[in-house]
Structure 1
Amino acid sequence: MVKTVLTVKDLSASYRKNTVLENVSFTVEQGSLTGIVGPNGAGKSTLIKSLLNLHPTLSGTVDFFGQPFKKAQQAIGYVPQRGSVDWDFPTNALDVVLMGLYGKIGWLKLPSRSHKKLAYEALDKMGMIDYAERQISQLSGGQQQRVFLARALVQDADFYFMDEPLAGVDAATEQAIMAILKELKGKGKTVMVVHHDLQTVADYFDHVLFLNRRVLEYGKTSTVFTKENIARTYGGNMRWTLEEGSHVVHP
């Protein structure tokens, strides 16, 4: 039986007095790996932040596992856009990953040996164990992204949101991240990812949500990832190169 883990109804939000989300409604099934796609300014990041109470909403309701975010937040992990993080903050990779355990440790307590073991294991899984003591400002963009993903992994959430985790990373890091996301899906975790590269959507995600202020289409990638839905979402700013058996899209 399919279990619904997120229900969004008539969600609206604004940014600098401009409405960026308008009556957004959709439901998400447990164990799905969804790509959120749409043009710049479509409200993709605002959608995630609104769902997680990080951005004020104008209207609508959001339920995780049948309850409000505040009651479900321990089961939810979030990887923000790399550009929104202060990378000059004086902390090392291990400390960043340990932040993912603060819900279990408590903000005023020191991490135990077992907590640090979990953090090291997460860094090792992301190929970053040798950089545990390295200041985050000294890491490359791809390495920083791996550390933030390790922070999310150590939380052992049931539902993960990731805002453009593949933006600006090298090919090896991209493949490593996608391997982890597919592993999470295989464990029954649910993942929603803001994604910018339409050429990889069909390979990376089993569901896709087309967003441009409103949800224009949402469903299984094999069904809804079509030229028509892409054109509806991105408007006239697309040109197409047709290859046998596939569509390659150029914004």
Structure 2
Amino acid sequence: MSDIVLKVGNLAAAYRKNTVLENVSFEINSGSLTGIVGPNGAGKSTLMKTMLNLHPSLQGTVSFFHSSLEKMKKRIGYVPQRGSVDWDFPTDALDVVTMGLYGQVGWFKRASSAHKRKAYEALEKMGMADYANRQISQLSGGQQQRVFLARALVQEADLYFMDEPLAGVDAATERAIMKTLQELKSIGKTVLVVHHDLQTVTDYYDHVLFLNRTVIAHGKTKEVFTRNNIAKTYGGDIRWLGEENGYGLYPVK
């Protein structure tokens, strides 16, 4: 039986006085790649931030590897939404990735050549080695996302949280990111991804969590990615384009 690496119980959160998450409970097993899907405003990013103590909870519990976030931080990697990052900060791609090693280096110590080499190798893995000395503000959106993923990889975490890593990237970057995430899964890492494209869920994830303020359904993709669960999650605001060609659906704008 797979080990439970994340357990969420009765979690609730709000923005100002508006409740955006309520009674959220689920468990994630090790070595899984889970897509978190739901309509805009469903609380997907808020869920990720609340689990990581980046947004306050109203109630509920979250445990990581049967322990607390504080004790398990070094085993957890996080890639925030690209839009939440100050890309004008004056630093280059290699330094951004090296920041992912501060847990090993120490905040007030200089990164060694070995640490820099490790960061460079992570950039190389993401096809960004040629941009190591490029200012992050000069990179395209897809390149910036690759750099942030390299920063997460260099941490060598066991559990990764990714908030819409595929949003606004080109097709080549999307393929590169998903190849990397599937490689992480293949070596026993656990990955949770906030995902917006229903068309690719069955290709990308072995587990899916449907969220709309609360958990609508969660489990193996082949079992819970159904027309009924999608309709319940999106309030019926989906359009079907012919099931003979796959799921053939997309949310109505």
TM-score by length of 2: 0.98
Other structure's SS at 1:180 match: helix
CA distance in 2, matches of 1:2, 1:177: 25
1:231 paired residue number: 231
Give CA-to-partner distance per residue, 1:143-187, whole Å, 9 cap, x none: 000000000000000000000000000000000000000000001
CA distance in 1, matches of 2:180, 2:218: 23
1:175 paired residue number: 175
User: After the TM superposition, which residues 37-186 of structure 1 pair with which residues of structure 2 at under 5 Å, given as runs?
Assistant: 37-186=37-186
Give CA-to-partner distance per residue, 1:80-123, whole Å, 9 cap, x none: 00000000010100010001000110110000011001000000
CA distance in 2, matches of 1:230, 1:16: 29
Which amino acid is the alignment partner of residue 40 of structure 1? N
Report the Cα offset of residue 240 of structure 1: 1.1
CA distance in 2, matches of 1:14, 1:107: 32
1:203 paired residue number: 203
Report the Cα offset of residue 245 of structure 1: 5.3
Identical columns (%): 72
Which amino acid is the alignment partner of residue 19 of structure 2? T
Which amino acid is the alignment partner of residue 97 of structure 2? V
Q: How many residues align?
A: 251
Residues 1:20 and 2:7 aligned together: no
CA distance in 2, matches of 1:169, 1:87: 16
Other structure's SS at 1:244 match: helix
CA distance in 1, matches of 2:248, 2:71: 42
Give CA-to-partner distance per residue, 1:22-59, whole Å, 9 cap, x none: 01000000000000000000000000001101000000
Report the Cα offset of residue 243 of structure 1: 3.2
CA distance in 2, matches of 1:224, 1:246: 15
Which amino acid is the alignment partner of residue 190 of structure 1? T
Report the Cα offset of residue 242 of structure 1: 1.5
Give CA-to-partner distance per residue, 1:204-223, whole Å, 9 cap, x none: 00000000000000000000
1:218 paired residue number: 218
Report the Cα offset of residue 250 of structure 1: 1.8
CA distance in 1, matches of 2:144, 2:174: 13
1:249 paired residue number: 249
- CA RMSD, Structure 1 to Structure 2 (Å): 0.7
Other structure's SS at 1:160 match: strand
Other structure's SS at 2:152 match: helix
TM-score by length of 1: 0.99
Report the Cα offset of residue 248 of structure 1: 1.4
Which amino acid is the alignment partner of residue 3 of structure 1? D
Could you tell me which runs of 5 or more consecutive residues in structure 1 were left unpaired when the two chains were aligned.
Answer: none
CA distance in 2, matches of 1:215, 1:57: 16
1:193 paired residue number: 193
CA distance in 2, matches of 1:164, 1:230: 19
CA distance in 2, matches of 1:145, 1:248: 28
CA distance in 2, matches of 1:163, 1:2: 24
Report the Cα offset of residue 246 of structure 1: 1.6
CA distance in 1, matches of 2:41, 2:16: 12
